[in-house]
Amino acid sequence: MKTYVVTGGCGFIGSYVIKELLKQEDVFIYNIDKMGVGSSEENIVDDPRVENQFIDIANDEHWRMHMTNPLAWISKEIDYVIHLAAESHVDRSIDSPLSFVHSNVVGTAKILEMVRKQEARMVHVSTDEVYGHLGKDDPPFTEESPLAPRSPYSATKAGSDLLVQSYIETFGINASITRCCNNYGPRQHDEKFIPTVVRSIVKGDLIPVYGTGENIREWVHAEDHAKAILEVLFHEDPAHLYNIPGTIELPNIRVINEIIDRMEFHYPEYKRKREGARIEYIEFVKDRKGHDFRYALSTEHSLHAVNCQQGFFLEDTIKYYVEKYKA
């Protein structure tokens, strides 16, 4: 039997990771989650192979109570650690940067100490935002691109990445970092982009769009991201860094129009009166501070690129949020 620690397993991506792990026969999972903003009770797994610990890994008191010697409450030897726990909403990082430093940097340091003492294999899940942003015609980022974060969120993720790298070099831990593009799928937090679009349509509200809506993002389904994380975790000869590119690159306004088209077709009860370029659906709002224009990850490195489904599979995502918000 293999034993895993998953941090942030009640969050969006973490819940998909646990779901994928449970497809194995001989597995036991310790899920550590403080049940913060990005976590949901809906994602708590009721399975005898999962033990949930609702603690804040960055909190010194929680750490002393639960993780001395190390992880005294864990009765099994740890084989693998998948570290996803993090504050991840850019807008919130602008309003409260210190809380992001605490969760994302200090929390990662605590997990690294556990990994060092347990001699476990680790995957640290990061973001493409640590590279900064691109112009419309710039080539995509590669694993060799320099770090140039532009928000408190991405800066704290870059800091946690560098901590992981330092433990690899100094202590020789067996760890890899993954950096993925934007994720979508059911069970994402309400504040995120696609849930906000669907909720606004269902509730009859205008969809808030930063600036002109021309900011460009790559997209990958959270289930594909989870599979990619496990592919990296189990790699026979792992590299220290893997980019996980998306399969489609679109301006935000195009994503909104894709959702509107599909909702008008599948859910005609939410169709609104058309006047020109869909102004009846959208409200352009003041742009976010330091709003990155474009993210894109290269798929050229066959060793580092993990394959995901091609396309933008929105139907399951839209259906989930329509059912959620119409209630």
Question: CATH number for the domain including 46?
Answer: 3.40.50.720
DSSP letter, residue 288: P
pLDDT of res. 312: 74
Query: Does the active-site annotation cover 128?
Result: yes
Q: Does residue 143 lie within any of the structural domains?
A: yes
**Which pairs from 42-45 meet CB under 8 Å and 24+ separation?**
42/187, 43/9, 43/10, 43/11, 43/12, 43/14, 43/15, 43/187, 44/10, 45/9, 45/15, 45/18, 45/19
Q: Annotated catalytic, 320? A: no
Which ranges of 204-295 does DSSP label H, i.e. alpha helix? 222-233, 252-266
Same domain (yes/no): 256, 242: no
CATH of the domain at 203: 3.90.25
Domain co-membership, 103 together with 32 = yes
- The answer on 177 and 61 residing in a single domain is yes
The active-site residue, picked from 128, 161, 223, 292, is 128
Residues 166 and 18 both lie in one domain: yes
Pair (130, 239) in one structural domain: yes
pLDDT at 139: 95
Same domain, 75 and 211: no
The answer as to whether 300 is a domain residue is no
3-state DSSP helix/strand/coil % of the chain, to nearest 5: 40, 20, 40
CA distance 259 to 279: 15
Chain segment 259-296, per-residue pLDDT in tens: 999 999 999 999 886 665 555 889 999 998 889 999 99
- Identify the segments of the chain with pLDDT beneath 50: 68-70, 302-305
Q: Which residues, in sequence order, are CB contacts of 3 under 8 Å at separation 6+? A: 27, 28, 29, 30, 76, 77, 78, 79, 80
Give the pairing of strands 50-53 and 182-184: unpaired
For residue 247, the model assigns a pLDDT of 76
Q: Does residue 280 sit within a domain?
A: yes
Cα separation, 153 vs 123, in Å, equals 19
DSSP assignment, residue 236? S
- Note whether 99 and 228 are same-domain residues: yes
Say if CB 103 and CB 89 are below 8 A apart: no
Does 51 reside within a domain?
yes
Answer whether residue 107 is part of any domain: yes
One domain for residues 227 and 121: yes
Same domain, 139 and 225: yes
How far are the Cα atoms of 78, 117, 162, 195 from residue 169, in angstroms, in the given order?
21, 16, 10, 40
- pLDDT computed for residue 306 by the predictor: 57
Tell which residue, 40, 58, 19, has the closest CA to residue 223.
Answer: 19
User: Is residue 224 flagged as an active site residue?
Assistant: no
* Catalytic-labelled residue, pool 4, 153, 281, 321: 153
Distance CA 217, CA 90 (A): 14
Structural domain tally of the chain?
Answer: 2
Please tell me which residue in 33, 56, 87, 129 is annotated as part of the active site: 129
Query: What range defines the domain where residue 255 resides?
Result: 193-215+250-295+310-326
